Amino acid sequence: MANASPARDDRIELRATREEKRLIAEAAAREQLDVTRFIMRNVLPVAREVVRRSERIVLSERDSKRVLELLEKPPRPTEVLIAAARRRAKV
């Protein structure tokens, strides 16, 4: 039974030197892959990691404690915040 994977209809173009292109093609051939599969196999995990890291916030121990304190005992809203909330409620 064939592996049902989504069709790759979109294109990505990139520029490379002749030497870079030759090296990528040679590496792909040594892995018994076509150039597209070679590039996708090696780039997608890196792209996923970059996105994952950018979506995650890492706080220091001090900052983590401060966030927990603020969640447990939030500060009273300022007049500016109250005014903004009233304006927003009218919209």
- Whether residue 10 is contained in a domain is answered as no
What is the per-residue pLDDT for 13? 94
- Whether residue 6 is contained in a domain is answered as no
8-58 pLDDT per residue, tens: 889 999 999 999 999 999 999 999 999 999 999 999 999 999 999 999 999
- Whether residue 29 is contained in a domain is answered as yes
Question: How is the chain classified by DSSP, letter by letter?
Answer: -----------------HHHHHHHHHHHHHTT--HHHHHHHHHHHHHHHHHHHHT-----HHHHHHHHHHHHSPPPPPHHHHHHHHHHHH-
Which residue segment(s) compose the domain that 30 sits in? 18-90
- Whether residue 3 is contained in a domain is answered as no
Rounded to two decimals, what is the model's pTM? 0.60
- Our count of domains for the chain comes to 1
- Whether residue 4 is contained in a domain is answered as no
What is the per-residue pLDDT for 3? 65
